[in-house]
Structure 1
Amino acid sequence: MNLLLAEVAQAAQRLADAGVPSPRFDAEELAAYIHGVKRGELHSVADSEFDARYWEAIARREAREPLQHITGRAFFRYLELRVGPGVFVPRPETESVVGWAIDAVRAMDVAEPLIVDLCTGSGAIALALAQEVPRSRVHAVELSEDALDYARANVEGSKVDLCQGNALTAFPELNGQVDLVISNPPYIPLTEWEHVAPEARDHDPELALFSGEDGLDTIRGIERTAHRLLRPGGVVVIEHADSQGGQVPWIFKEDAGWADAADHPDLNNRPRFTSARKALP
């Protein structure tokens, strides 16, 4: 075993002792980042090339600073995104939400689907949809100036139309025309603050995490925004906490103009997002 692999093994144990959920992966990812190689190439780093900055990075992760803040990058579906303090780090769970949305859009008989991403954060969702549904027209909105800086950098050169604003009042010029509204909004109840993982609680912006006593305040607002934006038959898909499974579909009521409201599981078979269709007249 070369020096770097031995150090990675020690680092993984340190991270495990600190309660980091994926200690081996994080130890390897930091080693690859510091040494400028891929994780599968760690064995190729000569002992003389070992960089002591690795242990500085491990100490930061040991203190529960997010891996993505240390590396400045996050991977989401087929994307590599710039992230850091001030923007919500996209999670793997959201990839299944986007996958469902892509399938829903592809199933529509629409030549150039019109898509709106509310609370875009880093721009991950909007950019993934623009990339994987090439003929789509994607609009995204973010309230936070800090997050918007990252989103601007990430969507630069893409066809995503990005603006700053309130998700609940955004894009009035698109009323009644949108095929898909998608959002990963804040949904953590204020009462759950102390139970949130340190990586999120201490580093993700509160604006992207918490939304009222039951966590559903923003989702209730997005329900009305989605109904305003969507054409009849258009679809909304919105992420929520697994503990909120069964609650969110009830927000998209038939008497409020919705049909087919339902929860969907993530890769761990936990309820992760709700979809609904704007009822036909």
Structure 2
Amino acid sequence: MVSRGELFTECRSLIAARDEDTADFDTTCIFQDLLGDKNPMFLPKEPVPDDKAAEIRSLAKRRSEGYPLQYLLGQWEFWGCNFKVGEGVLIPRPDTETLVEQVLDICRREKLKAPKIADLCSGSGCIAVALKKELPDAEVYAVELSDKALGYLKQNTAANGCGDIHIIKGDVLKRETAMSLMGLDILVSNPPYLTSQDMSELQTEVTYEPASALFGGEDGLGFYRAMTELWKMSVKEGGFIAYEFGMGQHDDVKAILEKNSFTDVEFRKDGGGIIRTAAARNIIVNKPAIM
């Protein structure tokens, strides 16, 4: 049998041939997952059973070919919670925690202890679960169209103790879906926002993720235009929309929000210093009385 140290060196070299920067991290994650040990290199001379070594080599080979580490492991962490992931659902990313933080700050500022929140294009459910964890009295809805993503969404809400999140299978670009959820305090979404050019230049890892969760139209703004127009009546007067978007899209997203009667647009930067999210308030309109 091969030792842990020998196998680690072998697998690391295989992955490093593709990406030296992530080789240590990726190899360690694979070892932790398959050996069930948080510190697999604490005992480098420990022998690895042949069947386990074969599995580890297989995952390392797939990783060296560009297959996403998160899919190989079958789960990924977001907001301190574990989320099941696989082909057919977008992988949760740290940048999206910026969106969760912004929504939570709005709730604190506005003293919303039990807000009604809808998470559109919910995918794995990472946003909905994170918000429900922090706001246990909130009425949270997670809207998703993809059958594959819905499977992960249901698993993740249950596994994280958030079975009371209301899961809705629906197309966020259809009026009937928007009309089914009214009186929202907060609408939150990380919709598809990659442009046609972005899609043609994707890293190999990202090509395994569902295109429907990535492509936002020619200029990447299709979902923002359609969703804001369709869902603005679902957000109560004085309520909020909060969006995540791609690098350099903030001015366009702000213009879309303001065109649809949202004001006081607040941007927030992610950990890399990129403007990543925006939140805006629905303007209170004095509607004329019906005679």
SS in 1 for 2:107: helix
Matched residue, 1:204: 209
Question: Which one of the candidate residues 85, 88, 91 is aligned to 2:87?
Answer: 85
Measure how far apart 1:241 and its partner are: 0.8
- How far residue 19 of structure 1 moved from its aligned partner, in angstroms, is 3.0
Would the aligned equivalents of 2:98 and 2:268 in 1 still touch at CA under 8 Å?
A: no
Equivalent residue for 1:215? Answer: 220
Mapped partners of 2:113, 2:268: distance in 1: 26
Distance 1:189 1:279 in 2: 30
- In the alignment, structure 1 residue 180 sits paired with structure 2 residue 198: no
Deviation at 1:60, TM superposition (A): 0.8
Equivalence for 1:146: 148
Q: Rg: which structure is higher?
A: 2
Structure 1 residue 45, shift from structure 2 partner: 6.6
Check conservation: 1:9, 1:24, Cα contact below 8 A.
Answer: no
Asked whether the 8 Å contact 1:20–1:62 carries over to 2, the reply is: no
Matched with 1:249 is 254
TM-score, normalised by the number of residues in structure 1: 0.91
Segments of 5+ residues of structure 2 without an aligned counterpart are 286-291
Structure 1 residues 214 and 54, CA, compared in 2 at 3 Å: closer, same or farther?
same
Task: Find out whether 1:11 has 2:11 as its counterpart.
Answer: yes
Identity %: 29
Letter in 1 for 2:284: L
Give the distance between the partners of 2:156 and 2:231, measured in 1 at CA: 25
What is the number of residues matched between the two proteins?
A: 276
1:264 aligned residue: 268
Root-mean-square deviation (Å):
1.9
Matched ranges for 1:11-160 at <5 A: 11-19=11-19, 22-38=22-38, 40-44=39-43, 47-49=46-48, 51-52=52-53, 53-156=55-158, 157-158=161-162, 159-160=164-165
Distance in 2, matches of 1:137 and 1:46, equals 52
Separation in structure 2 between the aligned mates of residue 240 and residue 162 of structure 1, nearest angstrom: 23
Q: In structure 1, what is the Cα distance between the partners aligned to 2:230 and 2:8?
A: 48
Q: Could you say if the C-alpha distance between residues 45 and 164 of structure 1 is closer, same or farther in structure 2, counting changes exceeding 3 Å?
A: farther
Distance 1:99 1:20 in 2: 32
